[in-house]
Amino acid sequence: MQIALSARLAAVVDRLPITPGSRILEIGCGPGAAARAVAERLDTGFVLAVDRSSTAIGRLRTTGASLIAAGRLGTRTVPIEDFVPEPGEPAFDFAFANRVGAFDGRHPEIETAALQAVSRALVEGGALYVDGRRHPRI
């Protein structure tokens, strides 16, 4: 099933280093269009989509139900600065965020906490992509 994305979001998703087995963390997923589009490209991989909004996560759980059932998509309601992997949860190959306030420079203390949380969730050498560009601090 082809997920309809805006041209901007499609360009971001197309630039991500997705492989069929990638483990990916999407930060600030909103209603989940990008998370669903990425999950569609996976075979054995997995996308965990996180957002601070329970409303957004609820919408994604509805629109992404088949991908969740297939084991390629999961959701969690949490601000990224408070994100902690669950016990035994494998690390992520990379993370991405699009237009997420924690990374827009207005709140340096939140950005620092968010970068630390992401860093702890990634495999060694994992990357964070913000608005389509690799973040230099991970």
Question: pLDDT tens, 2-29?
Answer: 678 889 999 999 999 999 999 999 999 9
pLDDT at 30 over 70: yes
Query: How confident is the model at residue 65, as a pLDDT?
Result: 98
- Strand 73-77 with 23-27, pairing: unpaired
Question: In the structure, what pLDDT confidence band is assigned to residue 116 with cuts at 50, 70 and 90?
Answer: very high
Query: How confident is the model at residue 81, as a pLDDT?
Result: 97
Question: In the structure, what pLDDT confidence band is assigned to residue 94 with cuts at 50, 70 and 90?
Answer: very high
pLDDT at 47 over 90: yes
Residue 96 to residue 24: CA distance in whole angstroms: 8
Query: How confident is the model at residue 4, as a pLDDT?
Result: 81
H or E segment at 94? strand 92-97
